[in-house]
Amino acid sequence: MRLQGKTALITGGLNGLGRETALLFAREGARVAVCDLPAEGGELVATIQEQGAEGFYAAADVSQFSQVEAMVGAVLQKFGGIDILINNAGITRDATLLKMTAEQWNQVIGVNLTGVFNCTKAVAPQMVERGKGRIINASSLVGLTGNFGQTNYAAAKAGLIGMTQTWARELGPKGITVNAVAPGFIATDMVKKMPEKVLQAMRERTPMRRLGEPRDIANAYLFLASDEADFINGAVIRVDGGLTL
């Protein structure tokens, strides 16, 4: 029960990595607030409650600061404070540079980069008041290496690393750690829909010879959110099976 008595806010929490993290955090004793776009998140909240934890859902488009402010206000009213912020929400709109539209660029930057700014801007002040907090950002290996057809996504994820390290300097003296996780190829539902030939190529490129599982990322989030990571600040932890060696 490494998160007993703590409240975590997880964006993009209804599916994939966010859902896995929400359920893991609930098992570890946290009160779990989930933010996503759909109007309702009752099924996940019920599942969290079945594990003996308190759950709460608040819908918001993280690219819109007014919606984020309202969402964070609802979480604070429900739980009284936020100890852990997992900036997990993200989208893809892939295209090569010559084919990418301004709309595709703006959508990805809006959610994956501006959305992280918005959520952190809304949550950090009450962490500062309380003198402690954990902020964990979902970057990606493509933010470190780039990737064909992902100008917008790579730019956003690289920008997250810069924000992570800047905030680690600014907020560290106030008792708040800020770190990032950079996943490799993870077997989410979206990835599993890719052709088997492509999936096999991903496995062969990874020294561990497998895709990552959502639990691998959730476990990294859990460690960084726990007291064991109290002196880790400004780190970018690659969870990639050795892909970038």
Give the pLDDT score at 188.
85
The H or E element that residue 10 is part of is strand 7-11
Told to judge if 221 belongs to the known catalytic residues of this protein, a careful annotator would answer no
Low-confidence ranges of the chain (pLDDT < 70): none
CA 103, distance to chain mean position in Å, is 23
Q: Which helix H or strand E contains 118, and what residues bound it?
A: helix 115-130
Q: Report the distance separating Cα 159 and Cα 245, nearest Å.
A: 22
pLDDT score at 202: 87
Asked whether the beta carbons of 210 and 239 are under 8 A apart, the reply is no
Domains of the chain by start residue, with CATH: 7-185+214-239 (3.40.50.720)
Question: Quick one: tokens of 41?
Answer: 């998140």
Q: From CA 86, how far away is CA 75, in angstroms rounded?
A: 14
Catalytic: which of 57, 117, 153, 221? 153
* pTM (predicted TM-score): 0.96
| pLDDT in the model for residue 113 | 98
Taking the C-alpha atoms of residue 207 and residue 242, their distance in angstroms, rounded to an integer, is: 6
Instruction: Report the distance separating Cα 198 and Cα 37, nearest Å.
Output: 30
Q: Are 236 and 139 in contact (CB under 8 A)?
A: yes
Q: Taking the CA of residue 186 as centre, how many other CA atoms within 13 Å lie in the half-sphere pointing to its CB?
A: 23
pLDDT of residue 192: 80
Q: Identify the pLDDT of residue 142.
A: 93
Q: Do the Cβ atoms of 108 and 93 come closer than 8 Å?
A: yes
